[in-house]
Amino acid sequence: MTSRNAVVAPGRTAVAKRGRGPWPLVAAATLVVALIVVSLTVGVYDLRAQEFGSEMSWITRVPRTLALVLAGAAMATSGLVMQMLTQNRFVDATTSGTTEWAALGLLVTVLLFPAATLATRMVAASCAAFIGAMLFMTILRRIPIRTMLVVPLIGIMLGAVVSAVTTYLAVQFNMLQMVGTWFMGSFTAVVRGRYEVLWVVAIVTLLVFVLADRITVAGLGKDVATSVGVRYDLILIAGTALVAVAAGVTTVVVGFLPFLGLVVPNVVSMIRGDNVRSNLPWVCCGGIALVIVCDLIGRTIRMPFEIPVSMVLGLVGSVVFITLLLRQRRG
């Protein structure tokens, strides 16, 4: 239990349940498409009965669903990347303080340049997230003994300290309520014209697919990676930058999405083993499906009002995460 640093945990071999052809993945993708269709049809405004139906659907329903797909896929894959780079199963943007840094960056930008455009804010948030993620990695390198559980603890505490600074600033400038609304992860305000920047995270996801093998090798540690000819430091920085961009952009557009990057990759690798390249499509599908389901729950449970997706995610995510942790205890 103490120092299980290896990427492949005992009992979860890479060969588990593979070689059945593409059919399971096709089934999963069909399920995701079905969820997307459901997401398009559910809502207070009845698209068929009322006039402007098709227009409304292009103004709110389609952008919202696209935003769900993009954010879900990006956060889930960036969680996977984080877990490979830190060689730790329990790290993602939530448990490494990355989203808190993004929030701080966003707040500081808004305070310094109130007229900043959405693009400027995103760049600032991503830069702050990058600084935070690199700081986290640096601290991790300075600890010789990295147990499975100390790593996320340090990340969570770092996040707590950073968000205390954010709260301080927000209180000083009387922005506390606004900050609360910004960072409450929710797709309510996503309409045409407000989601398009999320396509940036689609690029991030694609880049993760391209770099998948190298990230896998980097996950085996610096020595192994260097000996097979991978430029470890470069991959580390590239991976961290990808995660930072995903976290920064998602935070600016929709807010915090807790536990998404943590739960999905872990569940996928529990079922399928640890081959990153073949797991990536599954992680994408899983992320999209989880976000859409949580959003649907939030939308329907108290119609015509909405419950932000981050609350449903926080609830589902913490239960799954604790189950994962306690399984470790028994194992």
Partner 1 sequence: MASIVRLADTGLPPLAPAPRLGWVTRALPIVVVFALALVLAILILSYGNPAPFGSSGYWTIVRSRSGSLATIALVAVCQAVATVLFHTATSNRILTPSILGFDALYVLTQTALVFAFGTAATGLEGIPKILAQSGLMVLFATVLYGWLFSGRRANLHLLLLVGIVLGMGFGSVSTFMQRLLTPSEFDVLSARLFGSIGKANLDYLPFAAAFVALILIFVWRRRRRYDVIALGRDVAVGLGLNYRREVVTILVLVAVLVSVSATMVGPMTFYGFLVATLAYQFARGDRHAEILPLAIGIGLVALLGATFVLKHVFAAAGLVTVIIEFIGGLLFLIVILRKGMR
Residue 48 interacts with partner 1 (CB under 8 A): yes or no: no
Asked if 172 touches partner 1 (CB under 8 A), the answer is yes
Tracing tokens 């996040």 back to the chain, one arrives at 159
**Binding flag, residue 189, partner 1 (CB under 8 A):** no
Quick check: 168 binds partner 1 (CB under 8 A)?
yes
Q: Please give the residues from 245 up to 284 whose contact with partner 1 meets the rule CB under 8 A.
A: 258
State the nearest-atom distance from the C-beta of 168 to partner 1, in Å. 5
Task: Read off the tokens for 275.
Answer: 């081959």
Distance CA 136, CA 96 (A): 7
Residue type, 274: D
Residue 126 vs 166, nearer CB to partner 1:
166
Q: Which is nearer to partner 1, 53 or 180 (CB)?
A: 180
Of the residues 1, 15, 210, 228, which one makes contact with partner 1 according to CB under 8 A: 1
Residues in the chain: 331
Yes or no: say if 280 and 215 are a contact pair by the CB < 8 Å rule: no
Cα separation of 252 and 74, whole Å?
14
Contact call for residue 325 and partner 1 (CB under 8 A)? yes
CB of 173 to partner 1, least distance (A): 11
Long-range contacts of 303-311 (CB under 8 A, 24+ apart): 303/44, 304/44, 306/186, 306/188, 308/184, 308/185, 308/186, 308/188, 308/255, 309/185, 309/186, 309/187, 309/257, 310/184, 310/185, 310/186, 310/255, 310/256, 310/257, 310/258
Q: How far is the CB of 3 from partner 1 (least distance, A)?
A: 11
322 binding partner 1? (CB under 8 A):
yes
Report the nearest approach of partner 1 to the CB of residue 303 (Å): 12
Q: One symbol per residue from 117 to 156: x for binding partner 1 (CB under 8 A), - otherwise; what is it?
A: ----------------------x---xxxxx-xx-xxx-x
Cβ burial of 61 (10 Å; 0-12, 13-18, 19+) is buried
Whole-number Å distance between alpha carbons of 42 and 109: 36
Closer residue to partner 1 (CB): 18 or 141: 141
Which chain residues interact with partner 1 by CB under 8 A?
1, 90, 139, 143-147, 149-150, 152-154, 156-158, 160-161, 164-165, 167-168, 171-172, 258, 302, 305, 307-308, 310-312, 314-315, 317-319, 321-322, 325-326, 328-329
